[in-house]
Amino acid sequence: MNFNITSGPTATAQKVVLYGVEGIGKSTFASQLPNPVFIDTEGSTSNMNVQRMDKPNSWQMLLDEVNYIKQSRICSTLIIDTADWAETLANQFIISRNGITSIEDLGYGKGYTMVKEEFGKLLNLLSELTDSGINVVITAHADIKKFEKPDEMGAFDRYQLKLSKQCAPLLKEWADMVLFANYETTILTDDKTNSKKATGGKRVMHTTHHPAWDAKNRHGLADKLPFDYAAIAHIFKTDAPVTPQPETVVATQASVSPQPAAPVVDPEPGQTELLPINQANTAPQPDTQAPDFGRNPIELDPAINPQLAQLMIANSVTEEEVKAVVVEFGFMPAEVAVKDYPTDLVQGGLVAQWESIYSRIVAKRGF
């Protein structure tokens, strides 16, 4: 039995988490990385001259956009701005899928565990991007919380990622670098009046752990650096922009023999149940085709739920195709327009289960 052993550092794309106080310029900093494309979940780049994808208004749309970057390879750096808004989309997804009104309705922390699992799926997908040579930057807001060590006297303020206690550790463990951006201030004391005054305001980034913040790096960076991309530019590869894959790749993948059918999983309580899909149909699954994301726009009724409409447009799905599947599953009669579908059907049965819906649409197309 032979195994290959290598030594020395290997050049790989980077996984970066950049968080900091509000308004310090996280998005502007990230935009300086090589050939970036933003997935702007909160609209923070609206006044910036950058390449961006449509703002995802559902968790499935966010995953679809990341998959599109993975398949098309149109950039050297993908920036998700921000992590806390992305987690909100995951929360909404779990709420819709289970037909509840709050993530706490599932009880005993089950809802938060489900969100953690979904967030982990996103990080795994982003790892596939870095494995293929695309840098990934995730920005996040900072949250200040009072922290007190049980074995010491006194408490102090601590900056941390503005994420749930379930998702924050996942993100920190996933990253190669966690950078904390803040303003550096100096407190001056007047000897006569003993009054204190804060001065300064220089922007800095911290690269190593401190009792007052989370940070790390694997590149031997100084503990504190100017908040300037030039300070870390040497870490990132500056190769030419990634060349998109030929269109024939999709056709090749579609011709692969179908895999055994996945076992049917019982729906969660309150979840809209989908009827079994004919497994004998060998049409390609949706992950074998990169979504169009507006390249072949279709006309939709503006009254259709915006989350559903965004998924339909991205995948060039017509109202008639959605209606055909809905009627086949027995959710609604054929005479009911998509815009008139009830909210629980749209959120729990279509948006939250879009992969299954789209798989059936592709199968019915027969091409």
Q: Domain map of the chain by residue range?
A: 15-235, 306-365
What pLDDT band is residue 277 in, cutting at 50, 70 and 90?
A: very low
CA distances from 196 to 169, 185, 192 (A): 37, 12, 11
Of 18-32, 39-53, 61-75, give the lowest mean pLDDT range: 39-53
Coil, helix or strand at residue 309: helix
Pairing of strands 196-206, 177-189: antiparallel
Q: What is the pLDDT of residue 199?
A: 65
The first and second tokens of residue 185, run together, are 């201030």
Q: What is the pLDDT of residue 237?
A: 62
| 8: pLDDT strictly greater than 70 | no
Q: What is the pLDDT of residue 285?
A: 44
Contact between 146 and 129 (Cβ < 8 Å): no
Share of the chain above pLDDT 70, in %: 76
Strand stretches in the chain, DSSP E: 15-20, 36-40, 52-53, 77-81, 135-147, 156-161, 177-189, 196-206, 224-226
| C-alpha to C-alpha distance for 142 and 10, rounded to whole angstroms | 32
| C-alpha to C-alpha distance for 61 and 122, rounded to whole angstroms | 12
| C-alpha to C-alpha distance for 119 and 108, rounded to whole angstroms | 19
Contact between 190 and 209 (Cβ < 8 Å): no
Cα 202 to the chain's mean position, in Å?
31
Averaged pLDDT, 310-330: 91
Share of the chain above pLDDT 90, in %: 55
Burial 65-87 (b: 16+ CB within 10 A, else e): bbbbbbbebbbbbbbbbbbbbbb
The first and second tokens of residue 92, run together, are 């909404």
The first and second tokens of residue 107, run together, are 């009880």
Among 72, 64, 75, smallest CA distance to 136 is for: 75
Of 7-21, 51-65, 215-229, 309-323, give the lowest mean pLDDT range: 7-21
Top pLDDT among 155 and 71 is at: 71
Q: What is the pLDDT of residue 229?
A: 96
Q: Note the pTM of the prediction, 2 decimals.
A: 0.75
| 246: pLDDT strictly greater than 70 | no
The first and second tokens of residue 366, run together, are 């027969």
| C-alpha to C-alpha distance for 170 and 223, rounded to whole angstroms | 23
CATH number 3.30.70.520 is the correct assignment for the domain at 15-235 = no
pLDDT digits (tens, 9 = 90+) for 281-311: 434 444 444 454 444 557 889 999 999 999 9
Looking at the DSSP bridge assignments, the partners of residue 181 are 20, 205
Among 289, 357, 277, smallest CA distance to 322 is for: 357
